[in-house]
Amino acid sequence: MSPKSRLYTLVKAWKNKPFQEVRDACGDPWLGLSNQALEEHQSWSKRQAISHEPIFNCKGTKLTGSLFRPLLTTSDMQLLRLFMEGLDTIAYWYRSGRFIPGILPIPTYAIASSGYVDAMSELILNSRLPVGLVSIGIQTIPEPDSADACKEGLLRLRRLGVLLHFLTFTGSIEELQWITEMQLEGVHIDMSQMREREMASDALSQLRQSPYSPTQIYASNIGLVKDLENASTLIADHSYGGLMMSPVSRHQMLQINDSRIAKAIFSLHPHQHPNQNGDK
* pLDDT > 90 in the chain, percent: 39
Q: What is the DSSP letter of 168?
A: E
* H helices present in 96-190, as ranges: 108-111, 114-127, 147-158, 173-182
Which residues are registered as beta bridge partners of 57? 238
- Helical (H) or strand (E) element with 187: strand 186-190
Q: How many residues does the chain have?
A: 280
Is 8 or 152 the better-scoring residue by pLDDT?
A: 152
What is the model's pTM?
0.76
pLDDT tens by residue, 192-250: 888 777 665 566 677 766 666 778 999 999 988 888 888 888 888 999 998 888 888 88
16-43 per-position pLDDT tens digit = 555 444 444 444 444 454 566 556 555 5
Q: What CA–CA distance (Å, rounded) separates 218 from 238?
A: 5
Out of 178-192, 203-217, 247-261, give the one with best mean pLDDT.
178-192
Angle, vertex CA 69, rays to CA 64 and CA 71, nearest 5: 120
Reduced to 3 states (helix: H, G, I; strand: E, B; else coil), residue 217 is strand
Beta strands 102-106 and 134-138: pairing type? Answer: parallel
